Amino acid sequence: MKRIFNLFFVFSIALLFFSACKTDGFSKSELSLIQSESSNAILPLFTINVKSDSILLRNEARSIKKKYIGSETLEHLRKRMYATVIDSLNGGVGIAAPQIGIGVKMIYVQRFDKKGEPFEVYYNAKIEEYGDSINSGREGCLSVPNYQGYVSRSQDIAISYLDSVGHFNREKINDFTAVIFQHEIDHIQGVLYYDHIVNGYEALTYKNEF
């Protein structure tokens, strides 16, 4: 009987240890940030004005394993990212996880090409093909506050991604929505929009001057 009790005790401790170590693919610091507040609370934006933020923004993000999609931690992050991008003080049309300090390939894009113009989440998004039609348009970024610049982007792209339930999809995107996807996918590759501009950041204009 004592042996059975000891085995049960060891098993219980192991189970608790496994639960404590379960991170759903996130580091301890990322978990702390994700779980710091409720799911409807916005997250602080990382900007190029802070050196440590800028370093993270320049790193390529990690792919998200399909098995983690739908997990409690990832769902909590998804809801907080959504709350952040729709917050009236931000007013963005898209956001990427690195912009709130989480180094994974997760983006939100406002689908202006769909009825109701919904925000949708995408995991491991990748541009598979760029179309030949190129337009130059004005862009800004939540992580580059107060500045804007003109960027040349393809108006037709083909992308692949995992959707909100982990299904793999390929899709062709056009016009302004295609521009948003390119901007956000840049983020998960460590690229900022002014990297596409001749003279880069120095060529940006204070947004109130437009």
pLDDT in tens, 126-180: 999 999 999 999 999 999 999 999 999 999 999 999 999 999 999 999 999 999 9
**Alpha carbons 27 and 75: distance in angstroms, whole number:** 16
User: Has residue 11 got a pLDDT over 60?
Assistant: no
Least confident of 24-28, 39-43, 112-116, 167-171: 24-28
pLDDT band for position 7 (50/70/90)?
very low
Question: For position 16, what pLDDT does the model report?
Answer: 37
Here the tokens at position 129 are 């093909």
pLDDT band for position 207 (50/70/90)?
confident
Catalytic residue among 117, 184, 202, 209: 184
Question: For position 185, what pLDDT does the model report?
Answer: 98
Q: Name the strands in the sheet holding 94-96, side by side, starting at the edge strand that comes first in the sequence.
A: 94-96, 106-110, 119-130, 156-162, 168-174
* Backbone phi and psi for residue 128, each to the nearest 5 degrees, phi listed first: -90, -25
Buried b / exposed e over 46-79, threshold 16 CB at 10 Å, is bbbeeeebeebbeeebbebeeebbebebbebbbe
pLDDT band for position 14 (50/70/90)?
very low
pTM of the model: 0.87
Q: Hey, which residues does 84 pair with through a beta bridge?
A: none
Residue with tokens 């970024």: 141
Do residues 157 and 129 touch, judged by C-beta distance below 8 A?
yes
CA atoms within 13 A on the CB side of 133: 9
Q: For the residues 63-88, what does the mean pLDDT come to?
A: 96
Residue 184 is a catalytic residue: yes
Residue with tokens 């917050």: 87
pLDDT in tens, 102-134: 999 999 999 999 999 999 999 999 999 999 999
Domains and CATH numbers, the chain: 25-209 (3.90.45.10)
The secondary structure of residue 42, as a DSSP letter, is: -
Distances (CA, A) of 21 to 5, 12, 64, 136, 158: 24, 14, 18, 47, 38
